[in-house]
Every structure is written in C-alpha cells, then in structure tokens.
Amino acid sequence: MREPDADWNRRERQESELQRLDRNFNELLQELRVAQTGVQILFAFLLTLAFTQRFGEVTGFQGGLYYGTLVAAALATSLLIAPVSLHRLLFRRHQKGRVVIAANRLAVGGLVALWLALVGVLWFITDVLYGHVPGAAAAVVSALWFGALWFACVHDIEVALSEACTNVLEHAGAPDEYEVRLQVDDDRCVLRVVDVGERPGRLVLEMPAEPPDGEVERGRGLVLMRALVDRVGFAPLEERGTVVSLEKRLDYTDPGV
C-alpha cells in the first residue's frame, strides 16, 4: 500500500499537518501566479479582438470558434482565481485542508480550460489567415503539444506504474502481496513496487533482445516502462521477491507539470 502523504511528510520533513497544508497552499499560489499571468493576457487580447476593424470580415464558423475560445479563456480565468476567493471565504474557519483539496481541483480545471483556450486562439487566427485546413492542422498540433508538455508527464508515470504492477500480479503469490511506495523530491518522482513473490524483475531482465513468441507480452511491459520513465531498476529482496523502482525527472519550469 502507498504510504499516506501526511505520514511521509511527518517522517521526512518533520512537519505537522498544519505546516504541510500551509506549504501545499503556498506552493499552489506560486504556481497559480505563473498561470494567471498568461491567461489574463490571453483573455484581454480576445476581448479587444472583437472591436478591431477586420473582425467584421470573419465567417460564421470563425465567429463561433472565437466565442468558444473566449468562453474557455473566461472559464480558465475564473477557475485559476477561485482558490483565492475560496481562501478568503473560509479564512479563520479552520478549513485549510478543505481549501487545499478544492484549490488543487480548481487549478487543474483552470489548466485544462487554458489549454482549450490556447488551442482555440491558434485555430482561430490560423483559420482567418490561411484557411480551414491549416487552421485545423494548427489546432491538432497545438493540442498535442500543450497536452504533452502539461499532462503527459503524469500519464507516463501512471502507465509505467500500471505495467510494473501487472508484472508483479503475474508472479506474486496473491494480489495483496505487494505494495507501492511513492517518494517525491524537488526534481524527481520515485515509485517502488515491492513484491514478495518470485522475483518478476529477474525473469524480465534475463529475456533476450528478441524474445520467443511466448515471452513477447512479458517483454513489452519492460520496454514500455523504460520508454516512459528515466530509470527502471530491479533489486531482489533478501529472502524472496523484487523491488521494481521507477524514477521520473520532474520539470517544474513549465507551469503545467
């Protein structure tokens, strides 16, 4: 089982629950400042765009696309500012835990709305300048680009962890004979899947470069794990079983990661 976040912080950081919540909220506010600047500039640009001289030449499709983008930008603005008002409304009511959980959800929703707004504005401008086909292409490319930068890191970790757990379940004595441990440092995330079964990691690591037909599926999991995270490690336990370690570098220079 994954160790509760509060227990890990108490052991590693020597933090009380209130100190942890204060730190979480302060970190969230720093992230929101980065995102809010971008979405406010985008929203202001979209508001002024409707009053330009050339805006009267847009088609019905382009007008609908513009309005949808404007709504997405407004939604992103409201979601990213909402944690501040929530904190004010619950100030001195001893609800910091509730504030942190709700603010995190609002921030994630705001990032999704900002993602849609950025895709929409690139789609709209490209469609006006070059036509429908280049506009649609710009929308697809930008959606994939921003989605990969902002959300793919978490997805990679989830898929790699799923493959590691699947590997363990195939070889452990029972489904409850393994646990997942999480460690997050300043610039990396380390997941350890601890199995007390028959050392699944050793079975995988000894596979040849081109496994026989019966071993292809087993080898696929290792290939996926190595492709999605920065380092995959296997360490046998003293008596029996294996610890599968997945290490992923975290880049906090991008506000979405």
* One domain for residues 119 and 68: yes
Domain-terminating residue out of 109, 130, 151: 130
* Domain identity same for 85 and 175: no
143 in a structural domain: no
Q: Do 121 and 30 share a structural domain?
A: yes
Helix (H, G, I), strand (E, B) or coil at 76: helix
Residue 154 maps to a domain: no
| Domain CATH code at residue 228 | 3.30.565.10
Tell me, yes or no, whether 151 lies in a domain: no
Question: Does residue 71 lie in a domain region?
Answer: yes
Q: Please state, in angstroms and rounded to a whole number, the distance separating the CA atoms of residues 52 and 57.
A: 10
Cross-strand pairs, 189: 184, 248
- The pLDDT, as a whole number, for residue 253 is 42
From first to last of its 257 residues, what are the pLDDT tens digits of the chain?
445 666 766 777 777 888 888 888 888 888 888 888 889 899 999 999 989 888 888 999 999 999 999 999 999 999 999 998 888 888 888 888 888 889 989 998 999 999 999 999 999 999 999 999 999 999 999 998 888 777 766 666 666 767 777 666 665 554 456 677 777 665 677 878 877 555 444 434 433 344 444 444 455 667 777 777 778 887 776 666 678 888 877 654 444 44
152 found inside a domain: no
247 and 229 in contact (C-beta within 8 Å)?
yes
Closest CA to 103 of 35, 188, 4: 35
Domain presence at residue 106: yes
pTM attached to this predicted model: 0.59
Q: Are residues 119 and 12 in the same domain?
A: yes
Q: How many CA atoms lie within 13 A of 94 on its CB side?
A: 0
Kind of pairing between the strands at 231-236 and 178-184: unpaired
Distance linking the first and last C-alpha atoms of the chain:
25
What 3-state DSSP class applies to 246?
Answer: strand
Token pair recorded at residue 206: 């000894």
Measured in whole angstroms, the distance separating CA 249 from the mean position of its chain's CA atoms is 13
| 3-state SS assignment for residue 175 | coil
Question: Please, what sign has the CA dihedral across residues 91, 97, 99, 100?
Answer: positive
Phi, psi of 127 (to 5 degrees): -65, -40
Single residue among 105, 130, 155 that ends a domain in this structure: 130
Q: What is the DSSP letter of 172?
A: S
Does residue 36 form part of some domain? yes
Assess whether 125 and 12 both reside in one domain: yes
Question: What range does the domain containing 177 cover?
Answer: 163-249
Using the structure block, give the residue that is written with the tokens 């209130």: 18
CA distance 187 to 143: 26
Helix, strand, or coil here: 179? Answer: strand
Last residue of a domain, one of 130, 147, 178: 130
Q: Residue 243 is inside which H or E element, if any?
A: strand 242-249
Q: Are residues 185 and 101 in the same domain?
A: no
From the list 196, 219, 221, the residue with the least C-alpha distance to 209 is: 219
Q: Nearest-CA neighbor of 236 among 204, 203, 201, 208?
A: 201
Measured CA to CA, the distance from residue 30 to residue 27 in angstroms comes to 5
Contact 86, 99 (CB under 8 A): yes
Same domain, yes or no: 11 and 126: yes
Q: What local confidence, expressed as pLDDT, does residue 68 receive?
A: 96
Whether 121 and 37 share a structural domain: yes
Number of domains in the chain: 2
- For residue 48, tell me if it sits in a domain: yes
